[in-house]
Amino acid sequence: MRQIVLDTETTGLSAEMGDRVIEIGCVELLHRKLTGSHLHFYINPERNSDEGALRVHGITDEFLRDKPKFAAIAQPLLEYLRGAELIIHNAPFDLGFLNKEFERLGLGPVQTQVSGVIDTLAMAKELFPGKRNSLDALCGRLEVDNSGRTLHGALLDAELLADVYIHMTRGQNALGIDVGASEDASSADADLPPMDLSLFVLPVLACTAQELAAHTEVLADLDKASKGKTLWHRCEPQPDAQAA
């Protein structure tokens, strides 16, 4: 499977309000390993960056003045992405900006050119509920070395995200360009018999009455704090429905 890990930097936070893409970084995974193929552009946004955005990425307006405009890199970018599965941290943000740029050129959204999109932020929220799930936080939690990241940069962030993604999906311990595994190891893996998971019986641990009471108390406190707006409260069967 071909996957592209993508990140952008922008002039601000709102594509709808006129903010533009200033940097795009992409790295390629093939069968979950870095291939060494990457794509990287700095882009002249034809406007200045907000002060807040500048503090994040450090890419000055002066630096971008002689860089190509998005129209010049649109087709090479689409050709690189075409048919791949995209991996993006907070995908709605990056896709919103890219789709707005393509819309200005009379082109369709990115999603029509790729096989799918994985949002690693949504994935991280499911894996680590209630915790910080920024790229930096995930690097620290998953022991991915981000010591070279003092400012945000699209290509560096894409490389870090690729490693984070592999760790989150538990496919391998780390990323590296595959220069050919040993034939002995490959043949040994091929000789391993398939594992029949149906032979494993998972234990089911029932909660005690005390644990159930404590759980009910926590839910009641959350419901009170939200003034009755918790989803489980709304989904409880109503008396009329129970009677029916």
Compute and round to an integer the Cα radius of gyration of the chain. 23
Q: How many CB atoms sit inside 10 A of residue 12's CB?
A: 20
End-to-end CA distance of the chain: 51
Q: For 79-124, give the DSSP string.
A: HHHTTPEEEETTHHHHHHHHHHHHHHTT---GGGTSSEEEEHHHHH
Q: Environment class of residue 224 by beta-carbon count within 10 Å: exposed (0-12), middle (13-18) or buried (19+)? A: exposed
Say how many residues make up the chain: 244
Q: How many CB atoms sit inside 10 A of residue 138's CB?
A: 27
Mention every residue, 6+ apart, whose C-beta is less than 8 A from residue 177.
33, 34, 35, 36
Active-site residue identified among 31, 38, 89, 152: 152
**Residue ranges of the alpha helices (H) in the chain?**
51-57, 61-64, 70-81, 91-104, 120-127, 135-141, 154-168, 183-191, 209-225, 231-235, 239-243
The answer to whether 152 is a known catalytic residue is yes
Amino acid code (one letter) for 207: C
**φ/ψ of residue 35, rounded to 5:** -95, -15
Q: Which residues are catalytic?
A: 152
